[in-house]
């Protein structure tokens, strides 16, 4: 027989495990020494699109877990800051405030998608 506590714990895990897994994926990509493709300008465009995409998913997952859009964006922005700091310790990488802004914009996009989905249901 399932107790209310076990159900609540299982529900919390189903909300937060995807957030933690995705944050781990972002951390792993940030630990790669160089992600350059040698495509010139396209390299820059592709890397910035990757920032937007990975943080859009993080924002969506955080909104799903917290049910509070402003908190989700703030948490994603805080993680983006720590991610950029992390990159300063990786050879061939550097931290950039502009990337934090791009990441935060991506997170906001993900939160907006979550808001739209959550209002439909």
Per-residue model confidence (pLDDT) at position 43: 81
Asked if residue 95 is part of any domain, the answer here is yes
User: Tens digit of pLDDT per residue, the chain (121 long)?
Assistant: 455 555 677 788 999 999 999 999 999 999 998 776 777 888 889 889 999 999 999 999 999 999 999 999 999 999 999 999 999 999 988 899 999 999 999 999 999 999 999 998 6
Percentages helix, strand, coil for the chain (3-state, rounded to 5) are 80, 0, 20
Query: Which domain does 37 fall in, by range?
Result: 17-120
| Cα(24)–Cα(6) distance, integer angstroms | 26
Residue 96 lies in a domain: yes
Structural domain count of the chain:
1
Q: Residue 6 domain-assigned?
A: no
Residue 115 in domain: yes
With respect to residue 11, please indicate whether it lies within any of the assigned structural domains. Answer: no
Q: Minimal CA–CA distance to 64: which of 113, 103, 26, 104?
A: 113
For residue 1, give every residue at least 6 positions away whose Cβ sits within 8 Å of its Cβ, in sequence order, or none: none
In a domain, 7, yes or no: no
Handedness of CA 104, 63, 66, 5 (dihedral sign): negative
- Look at residue 89 and tell me if it is in a domain: yes
**pTM, entire model:** 0.88
């Amino acid at each position: 027989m399932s107790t209310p506590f076990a159900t609540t714990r299982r529900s919390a895990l189903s909300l937060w495990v995807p957030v933690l897994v995705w944050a781990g994926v972002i951390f792993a990509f940030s630990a790669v020494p160089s992600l350059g493709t040698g495509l010139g300008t396209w390299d820059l465009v592709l890397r910035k699109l990757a920032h937007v995409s990975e943080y859009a998913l993080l924002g969506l997952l955080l909104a799903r877990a917290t049910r509070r859009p402003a908190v989700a964006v703030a948490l994603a922005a805080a993680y983006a800051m720590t991610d950029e700091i992390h990159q300063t310790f990786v050879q061939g990488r550097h931290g950039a405030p502009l990337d934090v802004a791009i990441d935060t914009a991506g997170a906001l996009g993900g939160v907006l998608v979550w808001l739209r989905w959550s209002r439909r249901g």
